[in-house]
Amino acid sequence: MSLAERQLDLLRRMATLDPPPVLIGGWAEDALLAGTATRPHEDVDWIFPRSEHALREGQARDLGFGGFETWGEAAPGEPFYVYAENRDLKIDFGILDIAEGRPLLRIHRLMFEVDGREPPAGYQIVLPHDLFEHEPASIDGIPVQTVTPLALYQIRVGIAGRGSFGALNEKQQTSMQRLRERFFPGRDEVELAPPIEPLAQA
């Protein structure tokens, strides 16, 4: 099977888990906008609150993933970005903190370079409180759970706006434009931008 076919098989197996993982990133964009893969994807991105970390890592291990590596911290010793692989299949975890009822993507430190430099960090993105309440979507008939279109958009542009993962490529920019046109007609980029706050110093 091709990588795309193996990723679809992974999505199919993910759909049998209880509860199924929630997607962000390119596969979530394709689910909401097209119902099928429109471009190659390097990985499958999950997102969940910190309270589910053990559950989701256990699910990933049951799917054959291992070698979990922290590539980003929400605070010293607290991961927000975790990578794992199963041969050529790759998954990324995005781990949220919940504070005073607010879902927060906290970016304290990143363990890689962007354009040969340490990427920007030290901030948190405030996401919609209902980000996990979107109805299921599908990819080629496979049911998948995604965050809401607004949360998906805000995660992407919030991080890109700080340059923490580099600039959005052309296909990602197209997906962001399509999300705005499909779900937020008449609302401009400034209105849709997420609140971003500095992280408190430890």
* Residue 189 pLDDT > 70: yes
Residue range 39-66: average pLDDT?
Answer: 97
Predicted confidence band at 201 (pLDDT cuts at 50, 70, 90)?
Answer: low
Distance CA 41, CA 37 (A): 9
| Residues in CB range of 96: below 8 A, 6 or more apart | 47, 48, 49, 50, 80, 103, 104, 105, 127
Percentage above 90 pLDDT, the chain = 92
**19 upstream amide cis, omega within 30 of 0:** yes
Residue range 33-40: average pLDDT?
Answer: 94
Residue range 84-112: average pLDDT?
Answer: 97
Using one digit for the tens of pLDDT, what is the confidence trace for 61-70?
Answer: 999 999 999 9
Domains of the chain and any CATH numbers: 3-198 (3.30.460.40)
Distance CA 23, CA 26 (A): 9
The backbone torsions φ and ψ at residue 56, rounded to the nearest 5 degrees and listed phi first, read: -70, -35
The mean of the pLDDT values for the chain is: 95
* pTM, rounded to two decimals: 0.95
